[in-house]
Structure formats: C-alpha cells, structure tokens
Amino acid sequence: YGKLNGGDKINPFAEQKAWEDQQIEKATWNFGSKDKNRSMSADEYEFVFGDLIDFVKASANEFDDDLQAQQTRSFDLQVKSNLEKLQEERKTLPVFSYRDELLRAVEKYQVLVIVGETGSGKTTQIPQYLHEAGYTKHGKIGCTQPRRVAAMSVAARVSQEMGVKLGHEVGYSIRFEDCTSEKTVMKYMTDGMLLREFLGEPDLASYSVLMVDEAHERTLSTDILFGLVKDIARFRPDFKLLISSATLDAKKFSDYFDYCPILYIPGRRHPVDIFYTKEPQADYLDAAIATALQIHVTEPSGDIMIFLTGQEEIEAAAEVLKQKTEGLGTKIGELIICPIFANLPTELQAKVFEPTPSGARKIVLATNIAETSLTIDGIKYVIDPGFCKMKSYNPRTGMESLQVTPISKASARQRAGRSGRTSPGKCFRLYTSYSYQHDFEDNTIPEIQRTNLANVVLTLKCLGIHDLLHFDFIDAPPTEGLIKALELLFALAALNKFGELTKVGRQMAEFPLDPKLSKMIVASGKYKCSDEVISIAAMLSVGNSVFLRPKNKQTYADNARMWFQTGNVGDHIALLNVYNEWKETNYSTEWCAENYIQARSMKRARDIREQLERLLGRVEIELISNPDDLTPIKKAIASGFFPHVASSMKNGRYRTIKYPQTAYIHPSSGLARESPSCVLYHEMVLTTREYMRCVTEIEAKWLLDVAPHYYQVKHVKNSGSKSSLAEEGGPNRTDNFLGSKTFHLPTRRLQT
Ligand code: CDP
Ligand code: MG
C-alpha cells in the first residue's frame, strides 16, 4: 500500500458488496405457527471473504515475547492459563491478520479510517496493538465510545486480556465515574467525556493517539469531536487519529478528514437467513416473546437476542418470559434471561458475556446498544421488531421527546448480522418484507440533525468557538436548531445578547449536565437552597429507576411512593424526600427495600451528589440548606426548566405555555390525579400520548421572574395565578447572535 495516495483504500479487496446482497431473504414466516416442522432454512451461500483472508502470522513471535513479559508478573497459575487462553483468542480475531499492516499505516499516515464489522476486534485490539508498538510511551491512547456500557465493558475486557487491574494501565471514564489512575495509558471513554476533557486540555496534549470508535453511530458528541480533532491533527503532527466504523460508508469520513486512507478489515461472516412476518404485527413485544419461545422450543441450540427499545420494555419482556417458561417447567430446556441496557448496574452487565452452559439457552434482551457497540458471542438467532427509542426534537418549539421510532435499513442489517458471527444464523424480522423495502429509511439521521444543541453550543462557546455557523461540521445541524440553542442559552442567562458566555454560563459549563439542570443548580445559589437542589439533580440524573413496582405488590409500592408525596409536594420534592429520608437512615439498604426504592439507584445518586457538591465548590456556590421552605427550591428548578411549563386545560389535559402543545401528566406522577393549574415537568415522553414525566406545581407568575426574556405577562395572565405585574414584560427578542440578524420569538396568547 506504500504507493497509495491519500483517499485510497489500503486493501483493494475491500470493494465489499453490501453483505445483505449475499443473503437469503426469501422466506416469510408466521410466528406462532403450530407447524413445528416448518422449514426455516434457506439456500446455502458462500460468504464473500472466506478465501481472501490470508492469515498473516508474521507478528506471532513478537506477540509471544509480550506474553512472556506479562507472565513474569506474579500471577497465580490459574490467572496465567486464563491469560494464555485470552491471548490465543486474541489471535483468532479478524483484525489480528492486519496487525502489521495497521501499524505500518498508522506510522505512515496521521489520520486513518478503519472499517471492520462488529466483533472483528477493532475496539479491544487496536489500542492494544498501538500500546504494544510503543505509542503509549509519550502519551495515552484514548478510545471513545458512544455508550457508557460499551466503554466500561470493553475496558474491563482489555484489562483482562492484558492481565492488569481495571483502572490501572487500562481504565475508563464515563459521566460521574472515572475509573482511571496515574498509570492509565489506555483510556476508554464516552465521546461526551472526551468532549468535556477539551475544556481542560484543548489540544489533548496528554494523548498520543485517539481512536474515535463507532463513528458510524454519528452521535452528537462524536460529530462535534470530528471537528475538534481534525483541527488538532493539523497543528499537532505527533498526534495520530483513527476513525473506526462498523459500516461500509467510510468514504464520507475519509473525505471529511482530507481524503485519508481507509483500512478495511474483512470479517468472517456466516450466512444469515432473514425471515419476515407475513402480516404487520400489532404488538411487537408479544410477537417478539412468542417468536423467542418458538425458537427455544423448535430450533437447535444457540443463543437468542431480541432488540427492544428501552429498559422498561426489557424488564417487562423479562418478566413475561420468566412467567411463561416457569409455566412450562421441565418440558423445555433452561432459558437464561440476560437484559442489557445503558442503566444496567455494572455487576449485572458481566452476566451477559458469560458463556451459556450446555443444555441451556441464553436470551439477551438488548437495546440497540448491542447493534454494534457490544459483541456478545454465541448469538445464533436475532429477533428484530424494527424499532428503537430515539430522541426527537422540534426546533420550532424547542420541544424534545423520546419516541419509539422505526429503525433504518442500516440498523436492521447490523442487527441481523449479530446472528451470524460464530456460525450461520437466523434473523426474524417482525415486520413485512414490503415494509422493510418501502417504509424504512436507508440510514439513521445523524443525531446532530435531530436534537437539542444547547449543551454542545455551550461547550463550544467555552472552547472559544463563537462562529458556530462556520464550524467544520461533517453534517451541519439545521440553522434553526443552532438558533434555538442560542436562544435557550440566552434565556438561561448563559449567554449575553451578543452571544458571549456569561459568568452564569461558565458556571453552568462546569456541570456535566443538561443546561437546564446546570442552570437550576447555579440558580440554587441565589435562592439559598443548593443543598436540596443538588440532591434533586442527582436523583433526576439516575433516571427512572428509583421507584420499584414489583408485579404482585403494586398497591403497596404505589402507597409507599405516595407517602413521599405527602402534601402534594410534587415529584421533584418527592425525590428530595426519598433522598433525605434515606440519608437519615444512614443510607440503609433495608430502608430501600421496605419503601420499594431501588438501592442501587440511590447509591448512584449519592455518588453523583457528591460530585455535584464538589463542583459547586469549584464554581464558588455555597452549599446552603433551606429544607423548610419549598418555594425557593421550586423557583430554582423553574430557573432552569421554565421552557417546560404547561397549564391545565380540562379533563386532565395540559397545554405547554410558550409553544402550545397538548400533554398529560404521566400516570406515575404523584400529581396525576391532582391537576394543578400550572406545572413544570422534567421531560416529555411520547408513548400512547404525550406525557409529562416528573412534575411539580409552580406559580405561573414566577416565570416572569426567572425567565423575563422568554415569557411575557400575556403568557401567564390567564393561567390561574394572579400576576402582580401589570405591564407587558421586557423585550421579547434576542439580537446579534448571528451577525446582524434579529430573531423574533413567536408569541402566542395562552387560553385557558
Ligand atoms: O470493536 P469490534 O466490534 O470490532 O470488536 P471488539 O469489541 O473488539 O470485540 C472483539 C472480541 O472481543 C469479541 O469477539 C468478543 O468476543 C470479545 N469481547 C468480550 O468478550 N467482552 C467484551 N466486553 C468485549 C469484547
Ligand atoms: Mg467496537
């Protein structure tokens, strides 16, 4: 490849045809069919790359030396043989054949795009190769992951392979959890964490190599990182940059990085038969469970993976599967149910990677985290309902919601591929072939084009990047989205009217949180209740996993939960009550169990709270407690969450104040049956309806106080509470953010 110019492909046989072309997609099928003898098999096919893989063993000796070196450490025999086994396994990965070629390419080129399908060893091996080749002598090797679970589990795996303790030479860093030390030379981290590292080290001086992994996922942080690291590569000749992706559309990355070379690592892929349903499925969860059980009963051994949309769905599916299989007793083989999702506690994550005992079958219930970021060996059957949960954002209204959305063809292909890694597999798509062809988009829209950009804009402003319209985006976000972000930051007082960072903005940027949450914390200084507000922020940051609701004890659980709501204080204060009472019991686990509270979530909240407390000190906000007066606490919350306010219409219906949209209080809220006239909500979720989750009653007139640039008297006049202000509020426009343009915020009269 020495002759190649930039933009060329390093191995020419990389002219890969989309593997899907090679697959057999003839079959449709009927799940739940009583015909056990129904044949699911399809024609054989030769997979493309089998012949092409030339096992280059040249580096094997070098490898053994390294192994020797490692083994001189004082491990006991057990660990030693385990280490040997792992080293053998390393050599069987597809990427191993390209070790030398890769190292030569890294030496020669500064930026390199690497393409190899999931499981080929990119994430775990490439940083190790670079480490073995000496790249850690003058700096760290960083490797970014879009997902925290992937960062943790991959770091754990690599530390095992190297026979070192996690957090020593190999570590990981995710939000609120830093498992690295002075010794760490290989650091796995979420892309969001690296973005934050830029704030302290804008040239990434402590890194010699950076691998931006899972680039095809095109998360918001990854996209922003592209722009930043491209710049670094230009002024730091010693800096090596690897962009790795699991999909074939690498040319886009290469073009963006000044036509850098692309190294393809052909995988060893087995044929996958794809089956479609004959009819669209009314309930994909039911269909998925039925399919899984059918596979379990009728198909030869091999593990099953079901792609679901989120934690709640996964837990529901796990429950149903458990009940159904218990009902069947010993008539069927053992089914080991393994959930995997982002908030899954670390200790349970390992279970999913454990080999399945013979005679049993593992069933992995995963979010799209398992699409490309995690490789779980032994999967032979994939069930793909065709949905994922996606953040969607309406730049007009600034409204963000989580929505269950159909996946793209690219995702469907990735999912199917999970079944053919170690042997021929089968993928059951719970949608029709017609639907796949006609309804599915080719690719998922990059997150930057469908999300709230406020956080990123704040980070970029902190990095001194003011001209956002001309930032070198690989795909630019919609201008409207940028403007909305600037407007929000202005309303939050993070930016002044010239679009410059304010003191408040700088304080907010210290917190690794959404700007609305960080503003709420910064405002708590003014309202003298920072102690309470950081507890609330910590509890909000652990997600929706605080309250337990076991199947057969729902009434008890609901009663326990309502107790924290005494006086209809609202969900935010209820979270505070939970935290404080738990603290009073000296952080007792028993107390959690008695009150249907998830102890693990509480421990995490405590960790997060400690960090927020430290950060408060850093931005010089005093820790003050004012537990007896709820109004200042609610005002502090409103200082950040004023865009999330709705007023009551009738029949439990609400309408958001600024940009009217109908919504309902989520049934899980303590205020669901109260219908207060004006509420603030933490987030909007779209399920069967638009639901506001985590809700607190506020007084509409506060809005004029906390967000004078966002709300005017007319917004709050008719919303149930009397405003003391008679005249119209301040100027309702934001000037000078983007050159000389002036943007008028649309205003609408609120009707009740
Ligand atoms: O990054 P890529 O998808 O190319 O592969 P990888 O994540 O480096 O995985 C390579 C191999 O390491 C897989 O075949 C897994 O068997 C193994 N692995 C593991 O056992 N446990 C992990 N946490 C991660 C990877
Ligand atoms: Mg990977």
pLDDT tens profile 202-233: 999 999 999 999 999 999 999 999 999 999 99
Q: With contact defined as beta carbons under 8 Å apart, do 636 and 525 qualify? A: no
3-state helix, strand, coil in the chain (%, to 5): 40, 20, 40
Token pair recorded at residue 662: 């109908």
Torsion of CA 605, 611, 614, 620, to 10 degrees: -80
Pocket test for ligand 1, best of 102, 349, 356, 375 (most atoms within 8 A of CB): 375
621-657 confidence digits (pLDDT tens)? 999 999 889 999 999 999 999 999 999 998 899 999 9
Strand-pairing partners, residue 532, are none
Q: DSSP states of 522-582 as a string?
A: HHHHHTT-HHHHHHHHHHHHT-S-SB---GGGHHHHHHHHHHTTTTT--HHHHHHHHHHHH
> CA dist 490 to 1, 457, 712, Å?
52, 11, 16
Helix spans in 95-219 (H): 99-108, 122-132, 148-162, 191-200
Q: How far is the CA of 96 from the centre of ligand 2 (A)?
A: 14
Q: Tell me what pLDDT residue 733 has.
A: 34
pLDDT value of residue 423: 87
Mean pLDDT of 493-516: 94
pLDDT at res. 525: 96
Q: Tell which atom from ligand 1 comes closest to the C-alpha of 214.
A: 1
Strand-pair partners of 665: 692
What is the percent of the chain with per-residue pLDDT over 70, rounded to a whole number?
Answer: 84
Distance CA 646, CA 697 (A): 10
Mean pLDDT of all residues belonging to the chain: 83
User: What order do you get walking across the sheet with 361-366 strand by strand?
Assistant: 28-29, 272-277, 425-429, 379-384, 303-307, 361-366, 335-340
To test the pocket of ligand 1, the residue of 115, 117, 124, 130 to mutate (highest count of ligand atoms within 8 Å of its CB) is 124
Bridge partners of 695? 681
Q: Do residues 158 and 124 lie in contact, with contact meaning Cβ atoms separated by under 8 Å?
A: yes
**Which ligand 1 atom is nearest residue 124's CA?**
8
Range 352-369 average pLDDT: 90
Residue 403: band (very low, low, confident or very high) from pLDDT cuts 50, 70, 90: confident
For the segment 412-421, what is each residue's pLDDT rounded down to a tens digit?
Answer: 998 998 998 8
Residue 665 has pLDDT above 60, yes or no: yes
CA distances from residue 229 to 212, 285, 569 in whole angstroms, order as listed: 9, 42, 47
Whether the predicted pLDDT of 10 surpasses 70: no
Q: How far is the CA of 371 from the centre of ligand 1 (A)?
A: 13
**Ligand 1 atom closest to residue 153's alpha carbon, by position in its atom list:** 23
Give the separation between CA 525 and CA 622, rounded to whole angstroms: 7
Ligand 1, atom 19, lies closest to the CA of 157
Best residue for ligand 1 mutational test, from 88, 98, 157, 340 (most atoms within 8 Å of Cβ): 157
Atom of ligand 1 nearest to the CA of 125: 8
pLDDT of amino acid 379: 94
CA of 518 to the centre of ligand 1 (A): 36
- What phi and psi, each to the nearest 5 degrees, are found at residue 660? -55, 130
CB 197 within 8 A of CB 204: yes
* 341 CA from centroid of ligand 1 (Å): 17
For the cut 70, the answer to whether the pLDDT of residue 49 exceeds it is no
ipTM greater than cut 0.95? yes
Residue 605 · residue 590 · CB < 8 Å: no
- The residue nearest atom 13 of ligand 1, judged by CA position, is 119
Distance between CA atoms of residues 483 and 501, nearest Å: 15
Q: Is the pLDDT of residue 43 over 70?
A: no
C-alpha–C-alpha distance, residues 102 and 97, integer Å? 9
At 718 the pLDDT is 62
The ligand 1 site (C-beta within 6 Å) comprises: 93, 116, 118-125, 153-154, 157, 353, 375, 377
* For the ranges 207-211, 561-565, 736-740, the one whose mean pLDDT is highest: 207-211
β-pair partners for 648: 654
- Span between the terminal Cα atoms of the chain, in Å: 71
Which DSSP letter does residue 498 get? T
Residue 120 alpha carbon, nearest atom of ligand 1: 4
Closest C-alpha to 535, from 590, 611, 600: 611
Specify the higher pLDDT residue, 356 or 544: 356
Q: What is each CA distance from 621 to 142, 521, 613, in whole angstroms?
A: 33, 9, 9
Instruction: Report the percent of the chain where pLDDT is more than 90.
Output: 62
